[in-house]
A and B are shown apart, each in its own frame.
Chain A
Amino acid sequence: MLTIENLDCRYGQVIAVSGLSLEIAKGELVTLIGSNGAGKSTTLKAISGLLKPSAGRILFEGVDITGASPREILARGIAHCPEGRRVFPQMSVEENLEMGSFLRRDAAGIAADKARLYERFPILLERRTQAAGTLSGGEQQMLAISRALMSRPKLVLFDEPSLGLAPNIVERTFDIIRQIRSEGTTVALVEQNAYAALELSDRAYVLEQGHMTLSGPARGLLADPHVQSAYLGTSDAIPVN
């Protein structure tokens, strides 16, 4: 579904991603793990068009989308749920959801999707007219996820959805991602919370300083000694099957 070939991304002189290739098949849940500054967010931004890659190709459903605008890429079916949630703070919860369906014209479908999301997240219905900036972190994350789903994407990119959330909310967030995937949406997930992310995923890529260093089935990476020591903390602290 998504193919990245030899992607290079830079910010001025800073090389953030170099020679990255990866593949995501339809229906998969694929995780990118890596430490701070490894280039995970940069990769997602290149996919969603926020950033123009300096080299390489990105193909989505066989179409070259390298350097296309975020609008075109969204219209093709890729939604990006950005790092730090990024809800529109002074807009109401409802308006945030409506921004998610900005490109859609089917009023009835939009209303139905909104109703379904409100049913799934009753707290959002309760806070419907409240400014999104006044929601708690967990509520904002539910809103950010809902907003991304409002475009009816084929592929969703989640950038650190568990960042800064209380443990029970983190669990909830991963449950939701699992659900989204089970409903047939393909998911690319970036996480610091590597253990939980790998448990959830089919496959994973490990990024280090802009290079892909490891890849494979998530189960395998969970058992990999390098991954264990670098991303899963001390291996005796976390049970690995």
Chain B
Amino acid sequence: MRPGALDRDQRRFSLDQLLQHGLNAIILGGTYALLGIGLTLIFGIMKVVNFTHGEVYAFGAYVMFALVMPLGVNFFVALVLAMALGILLGAAIELLLLSRLRDADIDTTMLVMIGAWIAMQNTEQLAWTGVAHSIKNPFPPEPLVWGALSVSWNRLFVFAVASLLIAGTYYLVNWTKFGKALRATFQDRDTAALMGVRIDRVNTATFALGSGLAAAAGALLGPVFVVVPTMGDLAASKAFAIVILGGLGSVVGATVGGFILAFAEELGSGYISSGYRDAMGFVLIILILLVRPTGLFALKERIS
């Protein structure tokens, strides 16, 4: 064999490898974007650092587990229910905790949210023990293969649903009357109130929407990975990384941020060490805060 041929094979191999990492990243990025959009909306509109976000994600995964495994509910029905219950949970957190803290200072609100986070995580542990559970999915086990690339049907499904939810959220925020009220509240709360926007309802709806997206991400990824009570912590830290990447309050920024984080994780674990996967988010946060502290998509405006 001539030396050149080996070179070409190796290069071919590494290109395939790169493409495979890229594909994995795109698929993972969709759910990351969901997580990030939920958090960035809540922070943008309500100025609340939502420490329960990761737990609502875990809640989505656990609802999925409880419905599909012991109860035998149809996978797709369970997914819709998990999302709906996530929305309700978000509305409940907002109405029971945050709506009473409207005039509280940021420290108080943060402490309450941290308390809620700990309480929720321990409730999960109490209800489902600390043991990891897996969720059966109804997709064919053999992956879809295309040349040297392969992807499981379940992951493709996750990506499709995540994309739909992102598009739906984008539409809701930019093209509906509710979205207009949301953006107006984000940009100038008092003036939005003067236009007749019910700020308290916008708050509840935003928290419910953001939580629904987090629960959807959990319900989608639960069957891909496993379900454990601490799964929310990592998800929350990733969501924060995405929001910092994309800039606060920006749906597009959070979407792009989700994909950037997924690419960084895939490439970092593929080419540096798989142990670095979950560290990539923090590396990105540090880089962004050093170079462009307002995030990549900080909205330009002129305050005259």
Asked if A86 is an interface residue, CB under 8 A from chain B, the answer is: yes
Asked if B123 is an interface residue, CB under 8 A from chain A, the answer is: no
- Given contacts A131-B301, A133-B302, are A50 and B183 in contact (CB under 8 A)? no
Contact across chains for A71 and B183 when beta carbons are under 8 A apart: no
Contact across chains for B187 and A88 when beta carbons are under 8 A apart: yes
Interface stretch, picked from B80-88, B114-122, B191-199, is B191-199
Contact across chains for A50 and B190 when beta carbons are under 8 A apart: yes
Asked if A102 is an interface residue, CB under 8 A from chain B, the answer is: yes
Q: Indicate the member of B183, B190, B304 with the most A CB atoms within 10 Å.
A: B304
Asked if A216 is an interface residue, CB under 8 A from chain B, the answer is: no
Query: Which residues of chain B are within 8 angstroms of A88 by Cβ–Cβ distance?
Result: 183-184, 187-188, 191-192
Query: Which residues of chain B are within 8 angstroms of A98 by Cβ–Cβ distance?
Result: 180
Interface string of A72-92 (1 = CB under 8 A from B): 001100011010001011110
Contact across chains for B181 and A102 when beta carbons are under 8 A apart: yes
B188-212 residues with Cβ-Cβ distance < 8 A to A are 188, 190-198
Q: How many residues from B make CB contacts under 8 Å with A?
A: 21
Asked if A186 is an interface residue, CB under 8 A from chain B, the answer is: no
Contact across chains for B195 and A100 when beta carbons are under 8 A apart: yes
- Given contacts A88-B187, A90-B187, are A133 and B301 in contact (CB under 8 A)? yes
Contact across chains for A91 and B183 when beta carbons are under 8 A apart: yes
Residue in chain B with minimal CB distance to A96: B184
Contact across chains for B191 and A86 when beta carbons are under 8 A apart: yes
Asked if A67 is an interface residue, CB under 8 A from chain B, the answer is: no
A33-77 residues with Cβ-Cβ distance < 8 A to B are 48-50, 69-71, 74-75
Contact across chains for B301 and A90 when beta carbons are under 8 A apart: yes
Contact across chains for B196 and A102 when beta carbons are under 8 A apart: yes
- Given contacts A89-B303, A90-B187, are A70 and B180 in contact (CB under 8 A)? no
- Given contacts A74-B194, A100-B195, are A86 and B188 in contact (CB under 8 A)? yes
- Given contacts A86-B188, A95-B180, are A80 and B194 in contact (CB under 8 A)? yes
Residue in chain A with minimal CB distance to B302: A133
Contact across chains for A99 and B195 when beta carbons are under 8 A apart: yes
A107 to chain B, nearest CB (A): 12
Contact across chains for A137 and B304 when beta carbons are under 8 A apart: yes
Query: Which residues of chain B are within 8 angstroms of A229 by Cβ–Cβ distance?
Result: none
- Given contacts A98-B180, A133-B302, are A91 and B195 in contact (CB under 8 A)? no
Contact across chains for A70 and B196 when beta carbons are under 8 A apart: yes
- Given contacts A82-B190, A86-B188, A88-B191, are A71 and B198 in contact (CB under 8 A)? yes
Q: How many residues from A make CB contacts under 8 Å with B?
A: 31
B178 to chain A, nearest CB (A): 11
B29 to chain A, nearest CB (A): 25
Residue in chain B with minimal CB distance to A134: B302
Residue in chain A with minimal CB distance to B185: A88
Query: Which residues of chain B are within 8 angstroms of A151 by Cβ–Cβ distance?
Result: 195-196
B225 to chain A, nearest CB (A): 37
A138-165 residues with Cβ-Cβ distance < 8 A to B are 140, 147, 151, 164
A82-137 residues with Cβ-Cβ distance < 8 A to B are 82, 86, 88-91, 95, 98-100, 102-103, 131, 133-134, 136-137
A94 to chain B, nearest CB (A): 11
Contact across chains for B184 and A91 when beta carbons are under 8 A apart: yes
Q: How far is the CA of A80 from the CA of B194 in the complex (A)?
A: 7
Query: Which residues of chain A are within 8 angstroms of B183 by Cβ–Cβ distance?
Result: 88, 90-91
Q: How far is the CA of A160 from the CA of B289 in the complex (A)?
A: 39
Query: Which residues of chain B are within 8 angstroms of A136 by Cβ–Cβ distance?
Result: 304
Contact across chains for A50 and B187 when beta carbons are under 8 A apart: no
A226 to chain B, nearest CB (A): 34
Asked if B299 is an interface residue, CB under 8 A from chain A, the answer is: yes
Contact across chains for B194 and A75 when beta carbons are under 8 A apart: no
Contact across chains for A140 and B187 when beta carbons are under 8 A apart: no
Q: How far is the CA of A137 from the CA of B194 in the complex (A)?
A: 21
B279-304 residues with Cβ-Cβ distance < 8 A to A are 299, 301-304
Contact across chains for A71 and B196 when beta carbons are under 8 A apart: yes
Q: How far is the CA of A134 from the CA of B301 in the complex (A)?
A: 7
A153 to chain B, nearest CB (A): 11
Residue in chain B with minimal CB distance to A100: B195
Residue in chain B with minimal CB distance to A91: B183
Query: Which residues of chain B are within 8 angstroms of A95 by Cβ–Cβ distance?
Result: 180
Query: Which residues of chain A are within 8 angstroms of B299 by Cβ–Cβ distance?
Result: 90
Nearest 9 A/B pairs, CB to CB? A133-B301, A103-B196, A89-B301, A86-B191, A71-B196, A70-B193, A102-B195, A99-B195, A102-B196
Of the A-B pairs whose beta carbons lie under 8 Å apart in the complex, a sample of 26, sorted by A's number, is A50-B194, A69-B198, A70-B196, A71-B196, A71-B198, A79-B194, A80-B194, A82-B190, A82-B194, A88-B183, A89-B187, A89-B302, A90-B183, A91-B183, A91-B184, A99-B180, A100-B195, A102-B180, A102-B195, A102-B196, A102-B197, A103-B196, A133-B303, A134-B302, A140-B304, A151-B195
Chain A residues within 8 Å of B, Cβ to Cβ: 48-50, 69-71, 74-75, 79-80, 82, 86, 88-91, 95, 98-100, 102-103, 131, 133-134, 136-137, 140, 147, 151, 164
Chain B residues within 8 Å of A, Cβ to Cβ: 177, 180-181, 183-184, 187-188, 190-198, 299, 301-304
